[in-house]
Amino acid sequence: MRFFVPTDIYVEKNCVKNHAQNMLAVGKRAFIMTGRHSAVMNGSLDNVTEVLNAGNVVFQVFNEVEENPSTDTVRKATLAARDFKADFIIGIGGGSAIDAAKATALLLLNPDVDADDLHKVPSHRLDHAPVVAVPTTCGTGSEATPVAIITNHKIGLKKSIPHVIFPELALVDGKYLAFAKKQLIVNTAVDALSHMVESILNVKSNEFNRMCPEYGLRLWGECKDALLSEKKIDEGLYEKLMLTSTIAGMSIAQTSTSVPHGMSYDLTVHLGTPHGPAVGYFLAAYTEVCGKFVPEDVQKILSLLSLGSVGEFAAMLRSLIGTCSVTREMRDKFAASMKVNRSKLDLVPGGISPEDVDYIYEKSLIVEK
Ligand code: NAP
Ligand code: ZN
């Protein structure tokens, strides 16, 4: 049994300032990657640049990372980072900014690899520049995973790239959630929930690595009522939500995600569904199917969340993220491609049949009349 997360992670209020020296030690020329608005709005960009200015680390900001970052954006960022002679990359934002930062860090040191080839399996392991991650959503846990999910629009593919890119440093501060809309917090918290459920309902799950998702699910359960309520989330919960998300990232860093994530990517690519709900729609039916072979694991998940049944789990998810409608044609097409997605299907404990895959789609998506 092995547990491996080589990232130096701090989860605490004001950790960017508190651990300034750790960031300054990473490099001398920082290329900062963010989305269009949020990093300015929530103060995370200012917090980082104050530290860099005080430590005489020069930096350039690239604020063009879109949701579900594309190979084209990563290419553009890499050219700018190379021109700037960056020696490390800082990703500030949700999973999109951090994943784009990871992919840029890889291309920066590998000028022979084009962004459109990021999904190809390399013949040898490629180096990457160091990455510092400052997450501002409570979902992906990308600050603690080796994964970067990148979209290639030319071939309609959203997928993780086959490179191991753990950030060197992660500075996780819940205060940035104060600027997020409630539904963004809910959507990303559902992503973190899915990471932990898929990590337990996974052939790579073991007694050792379960310490993460089991602890994280307990924390998630403590946030459940606040997520379900109509009210704004109490700021006392921000740090717990962020901690849960990082722990969920540490969980999938050991096992990887499974079928619900595999199913989610088509919804995002073809319907523009945000990542958290796109995964969450499939989560209860996946849990139900896994109950055939690992009923005690399903019971454990439900009890950590203080839920009585998979039906209650499904109802909770519906309250949080609603439902999703697709045409029958789309659903059949998505199901057909999932039935050959061995990288996800092979992770299901006890195996999963094509009929089970159909069943999950049937239960999870509404077919438009
Ligand atoms: P996101 O796509 O990074 O961001 C969603 C939206 O939230 C953006 O409009 C962003 O605005 C805004 N935002 C971010 N932080 C905010 C804050 N504190 N306050 C207000 N608005 C804020 O969302 P995400 O769910 O975190 O990331 C999703 C991506 O991560 C997907 O591509 C998914 O596949 C990937 N993912 C990666 C991993 C991994 O291990 N690497 C795991 C799961 C998912 P701006 O654009 O202005 O910044
Ligand atoms: Zn996810």
Identical fold at 8-175 and 181-367?
A: no
> Measuring from atom 48 of ligand 1, which residue has the nearest CA?
35
In the prediction, which pLDDT does 77 show?
98
Q: Near ion ligand 2, which residues have CB within 5 Å?
A: 191
Reported as a single tens digit per residue, the pLDDT across 335-367 is 999 999 999 999 999 999 999 999 999 999 999
In the prediction, which pLDDT does 81 show?
98
Mean pLDDT computed over every residue of the chain: 97
Reported as a single tens digit per residue, the pLDDT across 167-219 is 999 999 999 999 999 999 999 999 999 999 999 999 999 999 999 999 999 99
Predicted confidence band of residue 10 (pLDDT cuts 50, 70, 90) = very high
Q: Which atom of ligand 1 is nearest to the CA of 188?
A: 25
List, in sequence order, the alpha helices (H) in the chain: 15-18, 20-24, 38-41, 44-54, 71-83, 95-108, 182-200, 211-228, 238-255, 259-271, 275-290, 295-304, 310-321, 328-338, 342-345, 354-364
Q: Is 160 near ligand 1, meaning CB less than 6 Å away?
A: no
In the prediction, which pLDDT does 369 show?
81
Q: Which atom of ligand 1 is nearest to the CA of 249?
A: 40
Predicted confidence band of residue 243 (pLDDT cuts 50, 70, 90) = very high
Reported as a single tens digit per residue, the pLDDT across 308-342 is 999 999 999 999 999 999 999 999 999 999 999 99
Proximal ligand: closest to the CA of 194: 2
Q: At what angle do helices 275-290 and 310-321 cross, to 10 degrees?
A: 170
Among 96, 143, 157, 166, say which to mutate for ligand 1: greatest number of ligand atoms within 8 Å of CB.
Answer: 96
Domain residue spans in the chain? Answer: 8-175, 181-367
Proximal ligand: closest to the CA of 43: 1
Q: Is 93 near ligand 1, meaning CB less than 6 Å away?
A: yes
Among 9, 90, 98, 99, say which to mutate for ligand 1: greatest number of ligand atoms within 8 Å of CB.
Answer: 99
Q: How far is the CA of 79 from the centre of ligand 2 (A)?
A: 28
Top-tier CATH class for 181-367 = mainly alpha
Task: Give whole-number Cα distances, 163 to 31, 80, 120, in Å.
Answer: 20, 22, 9
In the prediction, which pLDDT does 353 show?
97
Q: Is 244 near ligand 1, meaning CB less than 6 Å away?
A: no
Q: How far is the CA of 65 from the centre of ligand 1 (A)?
A: 10
Reported as a single tens digit per residue, the pLDDT across 267-281 is 999 999 999 999 999
Q: Which atom of ligand 1 is nearest to the CA of 179?
A: 19
76: burial class by Cβ within 10 Å (0-12, 13-18, 19+)? middle
What is the CATH T-level fold of the domain 8-175, as seen in this structure?
Rossmann fold (3.40.50)
Q: Is 142 near ligand 1, meaning CB less than 6 Å away?
A: yes
C-alpha angle 91-208-350 in degrees, rounded to nearest 5: 95
Q: Is 140 near ligand 1, meaning CB less than 6 Å away?
A: yes
Percent of the chain exceeding pLDDT 90 equals 99
> Measuring from atom 32 of ligand 1, which residue has the nearest CA?
68
Q: What letter would DSSP give residue 70?
A: B
Mean pLDDT of 16-43: 98
Mean pLDDT of 84-109: 98
